[in-house]
Amino acid sequence: MIESQTIATIPLFQDLSREHMDLLAACARSQTYRTGDILWMRGETAGSFHIVLSGRVKIFRSSSEGKEQTVYLFGPGEPFCLCSGFDSRSVQPASAQALEPTKVLSLAWDCLSRTTVEHPQLLLKIIQILSRRLKEAMDMVDALSLREIPSRLALFLVHSCDQGNGTVTFQVSQREIAKIIGTTPETLSRVLKRLADEGIIATAERTVTVLDRKRLLQLAGEDHDLKM
């Protein structure tokens, strides 16, 4: 049972009328997952739209040899499985796994469709989210094809850096970060150490502090000081 108040906390739905929040709440369902639970595998049917209520979900691809590449990490309030795009016959383009105890809200596409008839601005919001995800996917293509591991790590740190204080708090284990960057945990660990030895960053348990922002940006190959 989902409350309308829960729907109201989701950024995507904040501008809806009370009536439509009630409608979405009535057809939404929620499910809890334990750390490591698989939500679905690539190729399964994707009839719904999902939003993380709490916890963290990773979207990943895996090879027949078991190697994994994380494509996205989603936290509270973030919608996912958007790319089945209102098509209830579509299949999951990637697998999903809970990285911590996670609660997910699911809405069938036809339920959301009824809401968008009266709230077409919801479609615009979905377009904006899809656009952002597409840009992130392009960044990942760029990183995997055109960058060596130190540059990929630097770019990851630049993008993950909390604005202002210059620290990066890893929300997930280094093993999971290696799967985002497209490397092994051993290489990630070695490159983090190298950057620390060079005085660019300082590392602690789950925190990286950026000491030399300029050199990190150079290593990331970014002309502009994007998010720091």
- Per CB under 8 A, residues contacting a copy of itself are 43, 61-64, 67-69, 71, 82-87, 90, 93-94, 116-117, 120, 123-124, 126-128, 130-135, 137-142, 144-147, 182, 221, 223-224
Q: Which CB, 43 or 101, lies closer to a copy of itself?
A: 43
Minimum distance between the CB of residue 154 and a copy of itself, rounded to whole angstroms? 13
- CA 104/CA 55 separation, integer angstroms: 9
Q: Which CB, 150 or 182, lies closer to a copy of itself?
A: 182
Q: Phi-psi category of 104—alpha, beta or left, where left has phi over 0 and alpha has psi -120 to 50?
A: beta
Q: What is the DSSP letter of 51?
A: E
Q: What is the DSSP letter of 64?
A: T
Minimum distance between the CB of residue 223 and a copy of itself, rounded to whole angstroms? 7
Q: What is the DSSP letter of 221?
A: T
**Residue 188 tokens, joined:** 């990630």
Q: Which CB, 109 or 170, lies closer to a copy of itself?
A: 109
Distances (CA, A) of 114 to 27, 106, 199: 11, 15, 55
Minimum distance between the CB of residue 124 and a copy of itself, rounded to whole angstroms? 6
Minimum distance between the CB of residue 224 and a copy of itself, rounded to whole angstroms? 8
Query: Which helix (H) or strand (E) segment is 219 a member of?
Result: helix 213-220
Q: How many other C-beta atoms can be found within 10 angstroms of the C-beta atom of residue 186?
A: 9
Q: Which CB, 116 or 209, lies closer to a copy of itself?
A: 116
Minimum distance between the CB of residue 131 and a copy of itself, rounded to whole angstroms? 3
Pairing state between β 57-62 and 207-210 = unpaired
Q: Which CB, 62 or 203, lies closer to a copy of itself?
A: 62
Q: In the chain, what is the straight-line distance between the N-terminal and C-terminal CA atoms, in Å?
A: 41
Minimum distance between the CB of residue 165 and a copy of itself, rounded to whole angstroms? 26
Q: Which CB, 38 or 144, lies closer to a copy of itself?
A: 144
**In Å, how far from its chain's centre is CA 42?**
17
